[in-house]
Amino acid sequence: MSVSSVVVLRMPNLITITGPPGVGKTRTIIASKPQCVVTYTKDAAAEVTSRMNIDPMKAGTAQCGTIYSLSWPHVKAQQKLNIWRHDPGQNTPHQERRIRSSMDPALDSYEATAPSRYPKHILEPTAFDIHAWRDGGSHLNLKALNPRGPLKFCLPLARWVAAGCPWAADFEGYDEVVVDEAQDMSGLELAAALGLCKPDGVVRAYGDPGQAIFLGQKGIKGNELPAAWVQADEIQTLHGGWRVGAPVSEMASGVLSSYYDIPPETFTAKHATTVHPWDFDSQPHGCGLVLGHSRASVAAALRSWGAIGTAVVPSVGDPDKELVMCTGHAAKGAEADNVYLLPWSAQGMRYLEMKEAARLRLLYVMMTRAKRRLFVPHTLLAMVRRMTP
C-alpha cells in the first residue's frame, strides 16, 4: 500500500457535542448513521458495530474502531512500518469471576494490579508531551525517538500527523467522522481524527468533560478542558436526561461547576433521585453499585464486610440483582437504582476541598451512576453540599 504523493493540510469543521450523563450519546451517534465512528476502546467499537449492523467485510459500509486502528493503514504506509503488534495481555481473575471471599487471592490481585501501583516508565513524560500536541504540534524531535514502551502507538501516530496526515493511495477521506467519548481523546488523537476527514467535511465529537477520568497520561494538566472542547468551532449540548433525577443531578452539577458548567436541567430525568446519608459500618443489602475512589478502598470495604461472591467489575456482576463493588473509574458507563459511595481517604478529601479537577470529575461520575437513590457517607455528603450553590 502506497501513500498519495500529495499531502493536504486538512481543516474540517469540528463540532463538539456535550452529552451529560444519561442523555443518550451513543443512541444519538448510531441514529446519525455516520461514515466513520472513532471509539475509545476496541470493546466499544464492537458494541457500536453490532448496534449499527455494520459488516466490516462489506465494501462501502461504515467504519468503526479506535483512532489507532482506523489510522493505522495510513500510518503504516507513510512510515513503511512492517509490524504493528498489540499484546492484549491476560485478564486477572477479578475480571472474569466474582470474589469468593475476603481471603480470595483474586482480591489481593485486584488490589495489587491497580494502575496506581504500576511502576512508572521513564518515557511516560515524553508520551504525555506527545499527546498534548499543543498549538498544532510537538516541540519534541519525533524522528529521534523510538516507538517503544508508552511511545509504541502514539509516536507513529504523531509522525503521521506531523507529516500532514497523508492518506494511503486507495483512501479518499470521510465526509463525516464521529468521535465517541471525546473527553478521553488527547490533542494528538483529535488531530488524527481530523486528518481522516475531507477538507470540507465535519468531525462531530460527542462526550462530557465532566467524565474525563482517563486523561492522566493524555497531555491534560490541572483544570484544562479536553482538546475537543478547546479546539471546537462550535459547541452544542444534548438535552433530555433519563438516568439521574433531582436533587442528585443538581448536586452533581454543583460539584463539577468550578471545572465545567453543565446546567442540571440539561440532564435531569423526570423521576427523582434521592440522597441519603449512610454509615459505612452498616453494610448495604439488596442490589446496587458500591463505589470507591480507589481499589484499595474497595478491597478494604470488601474485607471489612466479609462479602462473599462479590463482583468488582460491573460486567461480571449485575447491579440490578446484586451488590457490585468497584471503583468510580470501573463504573463509568454503568448505572444502578441504588448507588453507595464509600468514604474517601483524608488525602482525597483534601483534594476535593481544593477543588482539584481530576477528583471533581471522578466524584461527578460516581454520583451520576445513580438512577433512584444515592447513599453518601456523612463527611463526604457535607463536602458535596458545600460545593453545591
202 vs 62, more confident:
202
Predicted confidence at residue 89, as pLDDT, reads: 61
Residue 6 has pLDDT above 70, yes or no: no
pLDDT tens for residues 324-357? 999 999 999 999 999 999 999 999 999 999 999 9
pLDDT at 307: 82
Q: How far apart are CA 257 and CA 239, in angstroms?
A: 18
Residue 26 has pLDDT above 50, yes or no: yes
Same CATH fold assignment for domains 13-86+133-237 and 241-387:
yes
Q: What percent of the chain has pLDDT over 70?
A: 93
77 pLDDT higher than 80: yes
Residue range 247-266: mean pLDDT, rounded:
97
Give the pLDDT confidence score for residue 290 in this predicted structure: 97
Sequence spans of domains, the chain = 13-86+133-237, 241-387
178 with 38: CB under 8 angstroms? yes
DSSP string, 14-32: EEEEE--TTS-HHHHHHHT
pLDDT at 191: 95
pLDDT at 111 over 90: yes
With cut-offs at 50, 70 and 90, classify the pLDDT of residue 91.
confident
- The domain 13-86+133-237 is placed in CATH, from the list 3.40.50.2300, 3.40.50.300, 3.60.15.10, 3.60.10.10, at 3.40.50.300
Q: What does the pLDDT average to over 11-25?
A: 93
pLDDT score for 58: 60
Which residues, in sequence order, are bridge partners of residue 375?
Answer: 276, 340
Cell numbers of 100, please? Answer: 469468593
- What pLDDT, on a 0 to 100 scale, did the predictor assign at position 44? 87
Instruction: Identify the pLDDT of residue 1.
Output: 47
Torsions phi, psi of 186, nearest 5?
Answer: -75, 170
Look at the pTM and tell me if it is higher than 0.75.
yes
8 pLDDT more than 70: no
CATH of domain 241-387: 3.40.50.300
> CA torsion 224→230→234→239, rounded to 10°?
-20
What integer is the mean pLDDT of 268-292? 94
- Is the pLDDT at 81 greater than 90, yes or no? no
Question: In this model, does residue 10 exceed pLDDT 70?
Answer: no
Amino acid (one-letter) located at 187: G
Backbone angles phi, psi at 299, to 5 degrees: -65, -40
Cell numbers that stand for 228 in this block: 475537543
If you average pLDDT over every residue of the chain, what do you get?
Answer: 91
